[in-house]
Structure 1
Amino acid sequence: MTDDRTQLTDDTELARPGRVKVLAFPAVVYAFAVVMMGTTLPTPLYPEYEREFGFGSLMTTIIFATYAVGVIAALVGVGQFSDTIGRRPMLYAGVILSLLSAVLFLVGGSVEILFVGRLISGFSAGIFTSTATVAVIEAAPKGRRKMATAVATAANIGGLGLGPLVAGIVTEFAPYPTRTIFVVHAVLLVIAGIGLMVVPETVKVLKGARPKLQRVSIPPSVRGVFTQAAVGAVAGFAVAGLFTAVAPNFMGSVLDVSSPTITGLVVFTLFATSALTQILTSKAPVRTSLMIGYVALAAGMIVLIVSLEASSLPGLVVGAVIAGASQGLLFSKGIAAIASRVEPHRKADATSAYFVIAYLAISVPIIAVGFAAEAWGLTTAGVVFAAVIGVVSIGSLIGLLRRPKDAI
């Protein structure tokens, strides 16, 4: 092109059915799932790291929470970059950073390396959260665009669930428990990078255009709805963080479950239920879904408290199922409530604020649980955490019921 645009792809390339409909769509979905999988691979390995490096539950929660810092930094720092420099460069950046994280975990050797690996892993996930969701929808064959959002959700949350499950299986049955899984992940990422070669660029880049930081703010028009929605997201993400960061230690020290596969399966259950719930309830009414989500989360916390006190693995699994379903419902319907009421030109600002708060919730409360576990023990810390989340859920339900029906 000789005008003021650098056209990265043309209509002819976008129309190639063999590349877009057959290869590009599964290639982006696969890359999305594999990158997100990398963020939860360490979950069943935390007990191994504790034995190897000699730290406890508190340090585990801090290492885990570092991931959220990376996600937030990516969402705010480069969340809009793909609209300016194109989807493919950002997708490749996410895959490369995820690969770098895998190499760092493979090398290991110190707690500092674990921190850096988690930070980079979170940054790669942040890139994919903002870019791959759009890329999946754009790569979907015509006539399948409506289901593309559900597929993106499945790739995102499903990838998070597959991480602990695959890591648990590899850790239990392969040599070098804290190393082999990252070799496997590195191979999967290389395949993802190769697969992205068939994905055409869908963004026309302005010559000289400069990427901008994502603005994070809550527009005045949706502050009431935002607060109501964000509380549910905070509660749901905090529970997801608890299962991902603390459950492995609880299962090992309290339930005497030493199998990484079982640990990974429990965490997988939560994320799989979340993804399935979001897909199945995509057309459900927002207000009714939020009410059900609050009730379900409170019920899930009761089950979790009972399972902790009774040292019951089946109870923990049931709690994971209920918590996953309620988390998926509260998160997806919360963002739907905001999106339906905010001005179109402020939607990205409000959505980014929602994600930032959600990822703060998956980190800050979990560090608090780590401190509590050091002081009171894992069981008491877990019970107190579940009780607080239960109270928040009931309070949110009451707040929602007091709002006019047309308010949310």
Structure 2
Amino acid sequence: MHTLWTSAAPALSYRLYAEEWQLSPIQTTGVFAIYPLFVVGTLILLGDLSDHVGRRWTMLAALVFSLIGALTLAWAVNVEWLLVARAVMGVGVGLASGASTAAILEFSSTGDPERAASATNLAQALGFATALLLGGALIQYAPYPLRLDFFALAVVIAALILAVWFLPRHVSSRTPWAPDCLTCRPPFARHSMWHRSAPRRRSPQAPSSFRSAAKWHTIWSGPPMN
């Protein structure tokens, strides 16, 4: 849920930032672009982190990054703060994307992939709708339009951190973790035709690397700025 809210909430405020701080089109574009760069970079480098350290710890780290980003946006005083906040949020969303989807499947009683996918889609839709409706209302009608929306997001993320803390501990892989770039092969290549000759161990806990890659475009940068 927090991934799409984290993505969409700042995008609703970009026009206000541009008007208040007299941002140039290049600066506004930079704020838009830095977020997807860090999301994709995190997916590439850390896409399978939860397979090694556990879903719970990976999701906690992702939520902490998102919380830091939300609080940074709430107290932003110039465009540099925006860039840092969006970069940190990109790391958080990148970490959460694969780990949360895998956790929904593994922590469910049935272990049904279709139900896990449906729950993931529902949570993402709920987060996006909340960002648009609640965030838009706070920006339009509430005081402090550039701060209150992000404080509300920070409260939700803090509640999610508390909830994730009490999740069951996922049995992580015994294989030492290393960034995928050091192995000179992308995460999605592990199950591609390039490695058909290598023996593979079938397990109900499939690696989470790029598990939600088909959906990453939905968390690219939030809704366009009017």
Q: Does the pair score TM above 0.5?
A: yes
Are the aligned partners of 1:129 and 1:156 in contact in 2 as well (CA < 8 Å)? Answer: no
Question: Is residue 177 from structure 1 mapped to residue 139 from structure 2 by the alignment?
Answer: no
How far apart in 2 are the matches of 1:102 and 1:120? 9
Counterpart of 1:89 (choices 45, 57, 70) is: 57
> What is the identity, as a one-letter code, of the residue corresponding to 1:171?
I
Q: Which residue of 2 aligns with 1:38?
A: 6
Q: Structure 2 length as normaliser, TM-score? A: 0.79
SS at match of 1:172: helix
- Alignment partners' CA distance in 2, 1:216 and 1:204: 20
Deviation at 1:218, TM superposition (A): 7.4
Counterparts of 2:128 and 2:27 in 1: how far apart (Å)? Answer: 21
TM-score by length of 1: 0.45
Give the letter for the 1:137 counterpart: L
Looking at CA atoms only, which structure, 1 or 2, has the larger radius of gyration? 1
Equivalent residue, structure 2, for 1:390 = none
Unaligned segments of structure 2, at least 5 residues: 197-205
1:212 is aligned to 178
Greater mean deviation of Cα atoms: 42-51 or 157-166: 157-166
Shift in Å at residue 53 of structure 1?
1.0
1:74 paired with 2:42, answer yes
Task: Tell me if 1:192 matches 2:173.
Answer: no
Matched residues in 1 for 2:154 and 2:47: separation? 24
1:198 offset after TM fit, Å? Answer: 2.3
CA distance in 2, matches of 1:174, 1:111: 23
Which blocks of at least 5 consecutive residues in structure 1 are unaligned? 1-32, 220-338, 371-377, 379-408
Alignment CA distance shift 1:143-1:84 (3 Å):
closer
Whether the 8 Å contact between 2:47 and 2:187 is mirrored in structure 1 is no
Report deviation, 1:49.
0.3
Match of 2:21 among 47, 53, 58: 53
1:40, 1:161 within 8 Å by CA — same for their partners in 2? no
Deviations 1:103-150, CA, capped at 9 Å, x for gaps:
110110010000010111111110111211101111222275531111
Tell whether 2:116 aligns with 1:148. Answer: yes
CA–CA distance in structure 1, aligned partners of residues 131 and 28 of structure 2: 17
Could you tell me how far apart the structure 1 residues matched to 2:163 and 2:151 are? 19
Query: Quick one: percent identity of the two aligned structures?
Result: 25
- Amino acid of the structure 1 residue aligned with 2:13: L
Higher relative contact order (CA 8 A, sep 6+): 2
Question: 1:309 is matched with which residue?
Answer: none
Q: Secondary structure at the match of 1:201?
A: coil
Distance in 1 separating the partners of 2:193 and 2:122: 28
Is the counterpart of residue 102 in structure 1 residue 102 in structure 2? no
Partner-residue secondary structure (3-state), 1:41: helix
Comparing both structures, which one devotes a greater share of its residues to helix? 1
Distance 1:36 1:212, change over 3 A: farther
| 1:94 alignment partner, SS class | helix
The root-mean-square deviation of aligned C-alpha atoms, in Å, is 3.3
Partner Cα separation in structure 2 for residue 127 and residue 159 of structure 1: 17
The Cα of 1:161 is off from its aligned counterpart by 4.4
Q: Which runs of structure 2 are paired with 1:356-371 in the superposition (5 Å)? A: 362=220
Q: Tell me the SS of whatever aligns to 2:44.
A: helix
